[in-house]
Structure 1
């Protein structure tokens, strides 16, 4: 066989072995959940609403976080019930104890009347907060619509920025620290598209973190559809 023939044959073999992407609409079902987990999952969508506080917690916008100091005890309930925020200074001997919420977490709590946010001395409205967040985080509003939908369904999600994804998503009824996240989640809207190179990069993120790849797509009505992406060889 000529050198050219061997090269063409090698290209054909490579093409035949190339992986294909298979997208399936995700239902997030988990047949391995225990009865106790299912019971907890049923409570999660209303967990924040069930927290009774006399007045909304007061937070202050600091960069890309909303920090709560004076109302720490009330704010800690959000962390204890549904893993909102991150606690700092809880160790013995530390004078200041605070909880910091990511922008999407803070906005979610604002929508539910559990948190008010100040930028300096100015109390922010929902629209003002979104405007500031859009300047701080790329694609914030699209990501927030996915975040809000996931939280409303009763799932806990945390940032996956260090992995190169938008969020890491935990099985329903599971909190961070109890088990690992099951999915890495990327957020987009119906007007955007991914190249195969981008898909491959997203798959590498999922593979390297040993998680499933999930894409949340927001339509023009604000509804979110989720697709779990799997790669297979033909």
Structure 2
């Protein structure tokens, strides 16, 4: 077995790690695809050499003595904030039988996948995650995230841009009137409210009416399909309703552009509160399908904690739904799909 073979001699020369003998080059480069071959010599990156030394596949020497694993590890990690994270993921993939190569201090290449390496404590934002998916140099590759937690365990995620599309064609065109309360709008016209609910699953029916969420009501007002009055009978126009939302429910206006965009995509959109997200979305009427998406709206420049990402993905996986981060980038709505994978 290879592991029982005598370690290959590698030399540290002017801060470069070199293997010169053809037999050693064949074992390390031809078989394991490690290192870069230049002028019949194999040059190892420090991280590669650390892995090979830990696996006892090489013996590293300089002009005078043998270099220990501890010495090389310290030298390789010096001044590189992400070294231990990338090394743990590199080693994990190698031990799984894969042959990753190193692109830069954060990124590994693995067949048709890029693996971006993060620690649990690393800060990230939606903009940064979007950029991982949009790098023009790697458009044809899949994007993975390797995440190392504080105990050194590794979780892998697939991340990609997503265009959620629904199948709702029977759009609501009826005009209705509703009464504004503190947290919802109530409709009482039985014929119209049932059509509203049946066509696009707006609101929640009760015996004598239909209760709309405030975000549904705002959307219908903007579509000129809903007139709102106070319990006193005084009409509330859209500007007054928006002022009401700004004062009492500003989070609704923050989430509204995503809601509106999802509706334009022919999806049924309902609250995702029970799942710990902002929205759940159906590609067809709930009578025919379960919600396919859980959508969490985020501020694109806000730092996201990786535990927040993990919670969302785990919940979506548990209920067999697709988890999406949604945010507005200039005038465009971006959806990031994240799912857990096992390489």
Q: Answer yes or no: is 1:203 the counterpart of 2:322.
A: no
In structure 2, do the counterparts of structure 1 residues 118 and 42 end up closer, same or farther at CA, with 3 Å as the change threshold? Answer: closer
In structure 2, do the counterparts of structure 1 residues 72 and 214 end up closer, same or farther at CA, with 3 Å as the change threshold? Answer: same
Per the normalisation by structure 1, the TM-score is: 0.75
Distance 2:333 2:243 in 1: 22
In the alignment, structure 1 segments of 5+ residues that lack a partner are 6-11, 30-37, 90-96
Q: State the secondary structure of the residue aligned to 1:214.
A: strand
Task: Name the structure 2 match of 1:98.
Answer: 209
Task: Name the structure 2 match of 1:34.
Answer: none
Kept in 1: contact 2:164–2:265 (CA 8 A): no
Task: Name the structure 2 match of 1:146.
Answer: 258
Task: Name the structure 2 match of 1:21.
Answer: 157
Task: Name the structure 1 match of 2:121.
Answer: none
In structure 2, do the counterparts of structure 1 residues 180 and 42 end up closer, same or farther at CA, with 3 Å as the change threshold? Answer: closer
Give the 4+ runs in structure 1 shifted more than 4 A: 12-17
Structure number with the higher strand fraction is 2
Distance 1:42 1:85 in 2: 16
Match 1:83 to one of 201, 224, 232: 201
Distance 2:220 2:190 in 1: 15
Task: Name the structure 2 match of 1:115.
Answer: 226
Q: State the secondary structure of the residue aligned to 1:145.
A: helix
Task: Name the structure 2 match of 1:228.
Answer: 337
Question: After superposition, what is the alpha-carbon deviation per residue over 1:138-194, rounded to whole angstroms, capped at 9, x for unaligned?
Answer: 5211211111111111111111112211111112xx111322111111112323331
Kept in 2: contact 1:110–1:116 (CA 8 A): yes
Question: After superposition, what is the alpha-carbon deviation per residue over 1:84-142, rounded to whole angstroms, capped at 9, x for unaligned?
Answer: 111101xxxxxxx1011111111111111111112333322223222322444452112
Task: Name the structure 1 match of 2:297.
Answer: 187
Kept in 1: contact 2:180–2:186 (CA 8 A): yes
Question: After superposition, what is the alpha-carbon deviation per residue over 1:63-89, rounded to whole angstroms, capped at 9, x for unaligned?
Answer: 2110011x2312221111111111101
Kept in 2: contact 1:61–1:119 (CA 8 A): yes
Distance 2:219 2:330 in 1: 20
Kept in 1: contact 2:203–2:211 (CA 8 A): yes
Task: Name the structure 2 match of 1:43.
Answer: 169
Distance 1:68 1:42 in 2: 23
TM-aligned CA deviation for residue 22 of structure 1: 2.8
Per the normalisation by structure 2, the TM-score is: 0.52
Query: Higher relative CO (CA 8 A, sep ≥ 6), structure 1 or 2?
Result: 1
Kept in 1: contact 2:269–2:279 (CA 8 A): yes
Structure number with the higher helix fraction is 1
In the alignment, structure 2 segments of 5+ residues that lack a partner are 1-69, 71-87, 93-147
Task: Name the structure 2 match of 1:169.
Answer: 281
Kept in 1: contact 2:190–2:209 (CA 8 A): yes
Aligned pairs, number: 197
Task: Name the structure 2 match of 1:60.
Answer: 179
TM-aligned CA deviation for residue 200 of structure 1: 1.1
Kept in 2: contact 1:206–1:213 (CA 8 A): yes
